[in-house]
């Protein structure tokens, strides 16, 4: 069976667990629907060419740049933006590490980096080294920090999670540490 | 404007027959700077092929042993899938297609259909002598990647045809191979020149070797008659490589001679030509010293 | 460190995506604004036909030069701006027609429907060509195409070179660097007859913006209000912009709010990059490596209008002379109009550019004499207590300690025995903490300190936070003066209708200028609070730990605030203080002490070069800074690492490539800024000695962080490959050509 949405036939979206129906051009980039229709302005527009990563969101748990994603491609999938992620406890842990390390200056790239790092730190194989984190962030540009503080913050979260899980097997943490 | 999202290949093939249909998969190429470019598509209908199960699989052909990768398989899936460990050069190429976010969307089929001269995954596929399958209402045909790609943004795809799979011949699976790309930064970048090589070494001798070069000509290219000069080379172990240096250097030089790169904002033709020499030499050398690792993959 | 305070800031909301930048703000009834731009570098406007555009449904305003005030204005003393081009377009991207419409689709249709007929004119694209007789004239008012000509000599330069043991030099060129702010240019403008213009504009010098825009429209300044939303990066790009003026003109015409937010393409097309400099330099030294003379001629490409290029040129011609003892110095600077998009400043402001040349030549002298690069610098650097050749009074200077520490931390001694294709390079830098020459009329900063109802203290400043940590630093300063928790201080700024005047955040001003004003205001608040409390509670009052103690009783600041309001008709206790530094305006002779405090830095870079491809990787970096006493360590380290990263991008990969007046790489794919993998671990250290003029001994750090970086990287590359790259960026192809002895002879 095929699902076909004509123009102005609504596209069902599920953003941060909330369902809504979008009506409009199916090719409209998701980032514009998030910002201009749903009012989720935490997702930023930096380049519209997929280079800067400021518009990163999670699509079924995987980071994607929402400027290159036609809204129809997000139909019936789970989209998570920084507004959804920030409600989760692991986000607070990363945010605390970022703030302590000085991982955000002007802040414009920051939500995209938080989304990417959140996904990386919850993955089955989270980054273990600065080079790993830098690899994860290849699609996120930051002009202020020089990245060092961001890499340090991510590794601090990994360290905390490792410390929390290593001594007693029962240590619960939301970050995978395999 | 309509957006079709078929779940079955036959529906997609039917829809593709409509000349107004633009086929999209991950969209990482088509939707670049969308607000400025949407006018060029007018009132086209769109068909997304990313959710068609037949296009999402990675499998080994039971009879031929070929590795078959569905057109909608993403760069990230190629880089992480167990079966793709047999094609490490393709994995290396998949890992430099943008960053994580792009790799989660960019598909191998899209990389070929877009036919950018700098497409990364196309280069090892040409070296492998990989074959694409093209399907339309009229049936299905196969064609080597190297003839499928015809020029910048030009392919052999006929109206109404869909690229459905990429087939990598069994004989290169697990063989020593390497993909190298010259870029200019650690962020997402585009290839200045890239090269891939794959070889088979039996009892210390090269029994076959194939090379491909990307971003140096309108399409990735191979020189089979030049590659043939690598056959029979003795490479008993890494240390003996010095003895074959001359042959490898000569192969690299001939690839550089055959390259007709452009000068653009990224680099001059002279530099690109010189880099073809360097990358081909390194890719072959890397391949011929890669045996131990490759053999582990085979076991 | 006893003087360090951990400061809270706006970072939490940035991390959570709650910060609202200008593109995130909407007004009811807002229109979409856009601009028809010149596709030509230089052309006569023969005809502008906007009838079809006006007829498109949804179009609310279409403006040509005939519809807007035509007087020349500008943000500096060079008044060469218009609102829209009338007779000629002067560069690709020059603004011809402005449109406001109710939807983006209508806007795009209208922009496409405007028909402009051009007659092409010969363009002038190189500064040296601009000076040649018969060159096309960019502005009729400046027939020589040279809005600024620096001529400066101190000491007898010819005599110095005549007695030199060694002379090194050559032609160096610096590149067209795009500031690369992640937030594209955007603005929201509104007009009402009663209140005049309100412009939401991310400008870090909003009061100069107000003055400039008021002049553009012939309005009194109190009819222009600039509200500054959080700024998503600037580095010099977001001072005073034509986009703001055009949005305002559209809002006035349509009588509706107008938003104009560029996409990256338009942001890059209209970018005002760093002033590209061509530098002919010679430095003379004696046999011991002591400098005897420095002689430079500089050509700067201002583009078609003046932004801050004159300040950049002046800085390039003078600033490094207060870093080293050059003996006699001579500088000639030609700032030239061309048919390029106007250029302006970026962090480093001409000094980093000239230091690239100076530090390269110093290494060549060291090579020529067989003296170690660190040693030759130790023989020539400025030190505390000196007055430099241009009159800079160095009341603090730990440059020698920085250099020695950088050498030690980097393992400089390894340089003799590095593996092949590895290189170590050293470079120094200096800067100012506010520069008297930014405004001829005044210098300093004003702050208001207020005791709020809730007992917290509110600080108002005219300076602007760009994410560099300014507000947090101000909070720390006020908290320290008042001996209250830093969480009890709120810092506000960014609205010209509400907050005190400020010259703005440029020239590394904020810590010393604004910081001193905050310190003064906090001191006066403390004093007045004490006087009031004495009247209320008795002569023995003491402010300790955020509580007023008197006769064994403790009174919270909230209680004191309430008591004050009850005595003064509900008013709040508030003081206003201005810091006025004792500095000299650098006149035509560029002599005088232009800043209260000078920061210094020594950087060492380590690179590895792939000799076959020319690809450079920076593999190590050590930055040692004299920023006085560091008040906000995390922010200061962040400034240094961020500056170094920009310097690495500048030196190795970034360039807006222009040909025939067109920028060829209008995307973040082909304008390559460094990614996370391009920046090595950067070791940052501070030599902390209080400066007598900085607040609690602090000096600036933002710009000096980048000043040595391109030179340090270039010197490291030269050390690695044994050849000197004189043209930035040292891209893989450039380095490869150097290695293959094909560097163009220029």
How many residues are there in chain C?
Answer: 746
**Which chain B residues are within 8 Å of A139, Cβ to Cβ?**
98-102, 187-188
The shortest C-alpha distance from A97 to chain C (Å) reads 11
Instruction: Give a yes or no: residue C312 inside a domain.
Output: no
**Chains touching A (3+ CB pairs < 8 Å):** B, C
The residues, any chain, with a CB within 8 Å of residue C612's CB and separated by 6 or more, are: B278, C736
**Which chain A residues are within 8 Å of C263, Cβ to Cβ?**
45, 47-48
Condensed to tens digits (0 to 9), the pLDDT of residues C652-683 reads 999 999 999 999 999 999 999 999 999 999 99
Q: Which residue has the higher pLDDT, C468 or C8?
A: C468
Specify the CATH number for the domain of residue C387: 3.30.365.10
C449 and C427 in a single domain? The answer is no
Instruction: Count contacts between B and C (CB, < 8 Å).
Output: 57
- Reported for C536-545, long-range contacts at CB under 8 A and 24+ positions apart, including other chains, are C536/C560, C536/C563, C543/C482, C543/C483, C544/C483, C545/C483, C545/C484
**pLDDT at C280 exceeding the cut of 50:** yes
Give the tokens for residue C595: 């800043």
The residues, any chain, with a CB within 8 Å of residue C669's CB and separated by 6 or more, are: A49, A51, B188, B189, B190
Helix (H, G, I), strand (E, B) or coil at C314: helix
Portion 154-193 of B in contact with A at CB < 8 A: 186-188
Instruction: Count contacts between A and C (CB, < 8 Å).
Output: 169
Q: Among C269, C286, C309, where does a domain finish? A: C269
The residues, any chain, with a CB within 8 Å of residue C408's CB and separated by 6 or more, are: none
Residue of C nearest to A146 (CA): C642
The 8-class DSSP code of residue B41 comes to G
**Residue carrying the six token digits 């008709």:** C569
| C167 within 8 A of C352, measured Cβ to Cβ | no
C681 and C571 in a single domain? The answer is no
What pLDDT, on the 0 to 100 scale, is given for residue B241? 55
The shortest C-alpha distance from C186 to chain A (Å) reads 12
Residue range C313-338: average pLDDT?
98
Cα–Cα distances in angstroms (integers) from residue A101 to residues A164, C18, C35, C685, C708, in the given order: 20, 20, 41, 16, 24
Cα distance between residue A34 and residue A45, in whole Å: 11
The residue of A2, A30, A45 whose CB has the most chain B CBs within 10 angstroms, and thus the best one to mutate to test that interface, is: A2
Helix (H, G, I), strand (E, B) or coil at A67: coil
- pTM here is 0.96
Give the tokens for residue A58: 């999670």
Cα distance between residue B250 and residue C131, in whole Å: 51
Q: Tell me the torsion sign for CA atoms C705, C706, C710, C713.
A: positive
C597 and C573 in a single domain? The answer is no
**In this complex, is the C-beta atom of B195 within 8 Å of any C-beta atom belonging to chain C?**
no
Cα–Cα distances in angstroms (integers) from residue B4 to residues B159, C133, C670, in the given order: 17, 64, 34
Nearest by CB to residue B7, choosing from A2, A68, A137, is: A2
- What share of residues in chain A are helix, strand, coil (percent, to 5)? 40, 15, 45
CB contact under 8 A, C181 and A143: yes
Q: Please list the alpha-helical segments (H only) found in A24-169.
A: 30-32, 82-85, 89-101, 110-122, 130-136, 148-165
Condensed to tens digits (0 to 9), the pLDDT of residues C396-448 reads 999 999 999 999 999 999 999 999 999 999 999 999 999 998 898 999 999 99
The secondary structure element, H or E, covering residue C602 is: strand C600-609
Give the tokens for residue B127: 């070296």
Nearest by CB to residue A86, choosing from C16, C265, C668, is: C16
Half-sphere exposure of C131 (CA within 13 A, CB side): 15
**In this complex, is the C-beta atom of B268 within 8 Å of any C-beta atom belonging to chain C?**
yes
The domain tally of chain C equals 3
**In this complex, is the C-beta atom of C302 within 8 Å of any C-beta atom belonging to chain A?**
no
What pLDDT, on the 0 to 100 scale, is given for residue C242? 98
Pairing of strands C196-200, C457-461: unpaired
Q: Which letter, b or e, does each residue of B125-148 get, where b requires 16 or more Cβ atoms within 10 Å of its Cβ?
A: bbbbbbbbbbbbeeeeeebbbbeb
CB contact under 8 A, C676 and B185: no
**Which chain B residues are within 8 Å of C615, Cβ to Cβ?**
182, 184
C731 and C702 in a single domain? The answer is yes
Cα distance between residue C655 and residue C649, in whole Å: 9
Q: Which domain holds residue C635?
A: 349-436+593-745
Specify the CATH number for the domain of residue C230: 3.90.1170.50
**pLDDT at C97 exceeding the cut of 80:** yes
| C17 within 8 A of A83, measured Cβ to Cβ | yes
Q: Within a 10 A sphere around the Cβ of A122, how many other Cβ atoms? A: 16
CB contact under 8 A, A75 and B5: yes
Instruction: Give a yes or no: residue C423 inside a domain.
Output: yes
Nearest by CB to residue A107, choosing from C180, C467, C677, is: C467
C424 and C449 in a single domain? The answer is no
**Which chain C residues are within 8 Å of B274, Cβ to Cβ?**
736
The residues, any chain, with a CB within 8 Å of residue C134's CB and separated by 6 or more, are: none
The shortest C-alpha distance from A26 to chain B (Å) reads 6
Condensed to tens digits (0 to 9), the pLDDT of residues A39-97 reads 999 999 999 999 999 999 999 999 999 999 999 999 999 999 999 999 988 899 999 99
Cα–Cα distances in angstroms (integers) from residue A95 to residues A90, B137, C457, C648, in the given order: 9, 54, 27, 28
Nearest by CB to residue C638, choosing from A52, A91, A102, is: A102
Nearest by CB to residue B278, choosing from C108, C613, C674, is: C613
Instruction: Give a yes or no: residue C157 inside a domain.
Output: no
Q: Residue A121: which of A136, A110, A107, A108 has the closest Cα?
A: A136
**In this complex, is the C-beta atom of C686 within 8 Å of any C-beta atom belonging to chain B?**
no
Q: Which residue has the higher pLDDT, B42 or C36?
A: C36
CB contact under 8 A, B184 and C653: yes
**Which chain C residues are within 8 Å of B184, Cβ to Cβ?**
615, 653, 672, 731-732
Cα distance between residue A77 and residue C19, in whole Å: 27
C558 and C665 in a single domain? The answer is no
Q: Residue C27: which of C202, C260, C262, C257 has the closest Cα?
A: C257
Residue of B nearest to C617 (CA): B185
Helix (H, G, I), strand (E, B) or coil at C114: coil
**Which chain B residues are within 8 Å of A72, Cβ to Cβ?**
3, 5, 46, 48
Q: Residue C605: which of C652, C565, C567 has the closest Cα?
A: C652
The shortest C-alpha distance from A168 to chain B (Å) reads 31
**pLDDT at C741 exceeding the cut of 80:** no
Instruction: Give a yes or no: residue C126 inside a domain.
Output: no
**Residue carrying the six token digits 């078959």:** B68
CB contact under 8 A, A131 and C677: yes
**In this complex, is the C-beta atom of B150 within 8 Å of any C-beta atom belonging to chain A?**
no
**Which chain A residues are within 8 Å of C233, Cβ to Cβ?**
105-106, 108, 143-144
Instruction: Give a yes or no: residue C566 inside a domain.
Output: yes
Instruction: Give a yes or no: residue C336 inside a domain.
Output: no
Cα distance between residue C468 and residue C454, in whole Å: 28
CB contact under 8 A, A110 and C17: yes
Q: Residue C642: which of A142, A141, A51 has the closest Cα?
A: A142
Nearest by CB to residue A72, choosing from B5, B26, B102, is: B5
Nearest by CB to residue A29, choosing from B2, B31, B48, is: B31
Q: Residue C7: which of A102, A111, B210 has the closest Cα?
A: A102
Condensed to tens digits (0 to 9), the pLDDT of residues C150-208 reads 999 999 999 999 999 999 999 999 999 999 999 999 999 999 999 999 999 999 999 99
**Residue carrying the six token digits 């309100």:** C198
**In this complex, is the C-beta atom of C115 within 8 Å of any C-beta atom belonging to chain B?**
no
C712 and C740 in a single domain? The answer is yes
**In this complex, is the C-beta atom of C727 within 8 Å of any C-beta atom belonging to chain A?**
no
Q: Among C240, C269, C298, where does a domain finish? A: C269
What pLDDT, on the 0 to 100 scale, is given for residue C4? 40
CB contact under 8 A, A29 and B8: no
Cα–Cα distances in angstroms (integers) from residue C549 to residues B44, C482, C538, C546, C556, in the given order: 77, 14, 10, 9, 9
Nearest by CB to residue B28, choosing from A5, A50, A136, is: A50
Cα distance between residue C650 and residue B185, in whole Å: 12
What pLDDT, on the 0 to 100 scale, is given for residue A169? 43
- Reported for C132-140, long-range contacts at CB under 8 A and 24+ positions apart, including other chains, are C136/C42, C136/C339, C138/C42, C138/C90, C138/C304, C138/C337, C138/C338, C138/C339, C139/C80, C139/C337
Residue of C nearest to A35 (CA): C24
Q: Among C237, C269, C301, where does a domain finish? A: C269
Instruction: Give a yes or no: residue C331 inside a domain.
Output: no
Number of separate helices (H) and strands (E) present in chain B:
12, 13
**In this complex, is the C-beta atom of B116 within 8 Å of any C-beta atom belonging to chain A?**
no
C78 and C222 in a single domain? The answer is yes
Q: Within a 10 A sphere around the Cβ of A128, how many other Cβ atoms? A: 13
pLDDT tier at A163, thresholds 50, 70, 90: confident
Nearest by CB to residue C644, choosing from A95, A143, A146, is: A146
Q: Residue A25: which of A73, A76, A72 has the closest Cα?
A: A72
What pLDDT, on the 0 to 100 scale, is given for residue C135? 97
Mean pLDDT by 10 residues, chain B (299 residues): 94 94 96 91 92 97 98 98 98 96 98 95 98 97 98 96 98 96 88 96 91 96 96 71 79 97 94 97 88 42
The shortest C-alpha distance from A48 to chain B (Å) reads 5
**Which chain C residues are within 8 Å of A100, Cβ to Cβ?**
634
> Strands, E, within chain B: which ranges?
2-5, 21-24, 45-48, 58-60, 67-70, 131-136, 139-144, 149-151, 154-155, 162-168, 177-182, 193-202, 205-214
What pLDDT, on the 0 to 100 scale, is given for residue A171? 38
Instruction: Give a yes or no: residue C635 inside a domain.
Output: yes
**Which chain B residues are within 8 Å of A2, Cβ to Cβ?**
4-8, 11
**Which chain B residues are within 8 Å of C108, Cβ to Cβ?**
39
C383 and C519 in a single domain? The answer is no
Give the tokens for residue C602: 């020594």
Of the given ranges (C3-7, C109-113, C390-394), which has the lowest mean pLDDT?
C3-7
C498 and C533 in a single domain? The answer is yes
**Chains touching C (3+ CB pairs < 8 Å):** A, B
Portion 28-87 of B in contact with C at CB < 8 A: 33, 35-36, 39
**In this complex, is the C-beta atom of C353 within 8 Å of any C-beta atom belonging to chain A?**
no
**Residue carrying the six token digits 């003393």:** C77
| A45 within 8 A of B35, measured Cβ to Cβ | no
Condensed to tens digits (0 to 9), the pLDDT of residues A3-19 reads 444 445 799 999 999 99
CB contact under 8 A, B31 and A59: no
Cα distance between residue C400 and residue C418, in whole Å: 25
- Residue C542, beta-bridge partner list: C549
C598 and C708 in a single domain? The answer is yes
- Cis-peptide into C729, omega within 30 deg: yes
Instruction: Count contacts between A and B (CB, < 8 Å).
Output: 119
Half-sphere exposure of C651 (CA within 13 A, CB side): 33
The 8-class DSSP code of residue B74 comes to B
C531 and C485 in a single domain? The answer is yes
ipTM: 0.96
Helix (H, G, I), strand (E, B) or coil at A15: strand
């Amino acid at each position: 069976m095929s699902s076909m949405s004509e123009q102005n036939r609504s596209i069902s979206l599920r953003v941060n667990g909330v369902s809504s129906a979008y009506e409009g051009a199916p090719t409209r980039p998701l980032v514009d629907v998030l910002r201009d229709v749903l009012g989720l302005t935490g997702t930023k527009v930096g380049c519209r060419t997929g280079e800067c990563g400021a518009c990163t969101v999670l699509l079924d748990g995987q980071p994607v740049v929402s400027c290159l994603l036609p809204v129809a491609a997000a139909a019936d999938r789970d989209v998570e933006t920084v507004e959804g992620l920030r409600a989760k406890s692991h986000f607070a842990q990363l945010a605390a590490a970022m703030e302590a390390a000085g991982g955000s200056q002007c802040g414009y790239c920051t939500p995209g980096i938080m989304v990417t790092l959140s996904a990386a730190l919850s993955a089955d194989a989270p980054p273990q080294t600065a080079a790993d984190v830098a690899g994860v962030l290849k699609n996120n540009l930051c002009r202020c920090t020089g990245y060092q503080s961001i890499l340090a913050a991510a590794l601090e979260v990994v360290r905390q999670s490792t410390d929390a899980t290593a001594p007693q097997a029962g240590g619960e943490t939301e970050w995978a540490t395999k | 404007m309509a957006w079709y999202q078929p779940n079955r290949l036959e529906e997609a093939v039917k829809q593709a027959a409509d000349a107004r249909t633009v086929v999209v998969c991950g969209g990482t190429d088509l939707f670049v700077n969308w607000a400025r470019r949407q006018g060029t598509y007018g009132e086209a209908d769109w068909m997304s092929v990313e959710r068609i199960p037949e296009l999402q699989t990675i499998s080994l052909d039971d009879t031929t042993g070929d590795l078959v990768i569905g057109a909608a398989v993403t760069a990230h899936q190629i880089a992480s899938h167990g079966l793709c460990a047999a094609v490490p050069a393709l994995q290396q190429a998949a890992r430099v297609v943008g960053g994580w976010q792009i790799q989660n969307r960019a598909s191998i089929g899209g990389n070929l259909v877009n036919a950018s001269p700098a497409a990364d995954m196309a280069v090892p596929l040409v070296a492998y002598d990989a074959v694409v399958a093209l399907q339309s209402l009229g049936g299905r045909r196969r064609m080597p990647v190297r003839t499928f790609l015809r020029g910048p943004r030009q392919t052999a795809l006929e109206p109404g045809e869909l690229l459905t799979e990429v087939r990598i011949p069994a004989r290169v699976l697990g063989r020593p191979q390497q993909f190298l790309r010259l870029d200019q930064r650690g962020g997402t970048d585009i290839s200045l020149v890239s090269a891939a090589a794959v070889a088979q070494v039996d009892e210390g001798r090269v029994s076959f070797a194939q090379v491909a070069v990307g971003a140096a000509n309108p399409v990735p290219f191979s020189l089979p008659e030049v590659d043939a000069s690598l056959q029979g080379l003795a490479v008993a172990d890494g240390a003996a490589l010095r003895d074959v240096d001359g042959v490898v250097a000569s192969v690299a030089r001939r690839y550089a001679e055959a390259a007709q790169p452009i000068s653009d904002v990224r680099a001059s033709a002279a530099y690109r030509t010189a880099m073809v020499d360097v990358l081909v030499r390194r890719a072959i050398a890397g391949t011929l010293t890669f045996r131990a690792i490759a053999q582990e993959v085979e076991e | 460190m006893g003087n360090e305070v951990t400061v809270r800031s706006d970072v939490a909301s940035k991390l959570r995506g709650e910060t609202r930048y200008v593109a995130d703000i909407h007004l009811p009834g807002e229109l979409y604004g856009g601009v028809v731009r010149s596709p030509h570098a230089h052309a006569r406007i023969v005809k502008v036909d906007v009838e079809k555009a006006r007829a498109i449904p949804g179009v609310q305003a279409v403006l040509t030069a005939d519809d807007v005030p035509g007087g020349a204005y500008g943000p500096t003393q060079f008044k060469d701006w218009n609102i829209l081009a009338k007779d000629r377009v002067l560069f690709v991207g020059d603004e011809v027609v402005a449109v406001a419409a109710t939807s983006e689709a209508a806007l795009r249709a209208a922009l496409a429907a405007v028909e402009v007929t051009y007659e092409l004119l010969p363009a002038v694209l190189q500064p040296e060509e601009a000076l040649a007789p018969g060159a096309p004239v960019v502005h009729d008012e400046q027939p020589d195409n040279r809005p600024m000509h620096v001529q400066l000599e101190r000491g007898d330069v010819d005599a110095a070179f005549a007695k030199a043991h060694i002379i090194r030099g050559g032609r160096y060129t610096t590149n067209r660097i795009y500031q690369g702010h992640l937030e594209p240019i955007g603005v929201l403008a509104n007009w009402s007859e009663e209140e005049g213009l309100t412009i939401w504009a991310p400008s870090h010098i909003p009061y100069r913006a107000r003055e400039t825009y008021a002049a553009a429209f012939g309005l009194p300044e109190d009819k222009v209000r600039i509200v500054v939303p959080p700024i998503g990066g600037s580095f010099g790009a977001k001072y005073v912009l034509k986009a703001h003026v055009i949005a305002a003109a559209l809002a006035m015409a349509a009588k509706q709010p107008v938003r104009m937010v560029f996409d990256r393409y338009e942001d890059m097309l209209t970018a005002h990059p760093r002033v590209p400099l061509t530098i002919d330099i010679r430095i003379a030294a004696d046999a011991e490596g002591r400098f005897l003379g420095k002689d430079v001629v500089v050509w700067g490409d201002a583009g078609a209008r003046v932004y801050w290029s004159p300040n950049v040129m002046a800085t390039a011609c003078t600033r490094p002379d207060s870093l080293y003892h050059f003996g006699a110095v001579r500088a000639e600077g030609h700032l030239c109009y061309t048919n390029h998009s106007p250029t302006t400043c970026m962090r480093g402001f001409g000094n980093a550019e000239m230091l690239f040349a100076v530090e390269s030549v110093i290494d060549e002298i060291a090579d020529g004499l067989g003296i170690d690069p660190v040693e030759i610098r130790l023989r020539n650097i400025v030190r505390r207590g000196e007055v430099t050749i241009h009159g800079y009074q160095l009341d603090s200077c730990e440059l020698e300690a920085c250099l020695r520490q950088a050498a030690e931390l980097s393992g400089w001694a390894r340089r003799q025995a590095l593996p092949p294709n590895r290189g170590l390079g050293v470079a120094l830098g200096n800067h100012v903490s506010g520069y008297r020459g930014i405004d001829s009329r005044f210098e300093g900063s004003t702050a208001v300190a207020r005791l709020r109802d809730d007992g917290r203290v509110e600080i108002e400043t005219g300076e602007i936070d760009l994410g560099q940590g300014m507000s947090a630093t101000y909070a720390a300063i006020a908290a320290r003066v008042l001996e209250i928790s830093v969480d009890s201080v709120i810092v506000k700024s960014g609205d010209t209708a509400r907050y005190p005047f400020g010259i703005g955040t440029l020239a590394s001003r904020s810590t010393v200028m604004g910081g001193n004003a905050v310190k003064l205001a906090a001191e006066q608040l403390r004093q007045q609070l004490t006087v009031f409390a004495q009247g209320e509670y008795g002569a023995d009052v003491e402010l300790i730990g955020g509580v007023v103690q008197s006769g064994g009783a403790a009174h919270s600041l909230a209680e004191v605030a309430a008591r004050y309001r009850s005595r003064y008709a509900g008013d709040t206790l508030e003081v206003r203080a201005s810091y006025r530094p004792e500095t000299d305006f650098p006149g035509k002779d560029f002599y005088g002490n232009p800043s209260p405090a000078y920061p210094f830095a020594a950087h060492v870079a380590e690179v590895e070069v792939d000799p076959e491809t020319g690809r450079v990787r920076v593999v190590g970096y050590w930055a040692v800074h004299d920023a006085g006493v560091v008040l906000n360590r995390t922010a200061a380290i962040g400034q240094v690492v961020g500056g170094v990263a920009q310097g690495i991008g500048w030196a190795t990969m970034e360039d807006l490539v222009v040909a025939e007046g067109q920028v060829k790489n209008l995307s973040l794919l082909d304008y390559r800024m460094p990614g996370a993998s391009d920046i090595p671990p950067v070791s940052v250290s501070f030599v902390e000695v209080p400066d007598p003029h900085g607040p609690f001994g602090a000096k600036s750090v933002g710009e000096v962080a980048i000043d040595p970086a391109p030179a340090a990287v270039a010197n490291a590359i030269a050390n690695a490959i044994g050849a000197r790259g004189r043209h930035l960026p040292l891209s893989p192809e450039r380095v490869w050509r150097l290695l293959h002895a094909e560097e163009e002879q220029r």
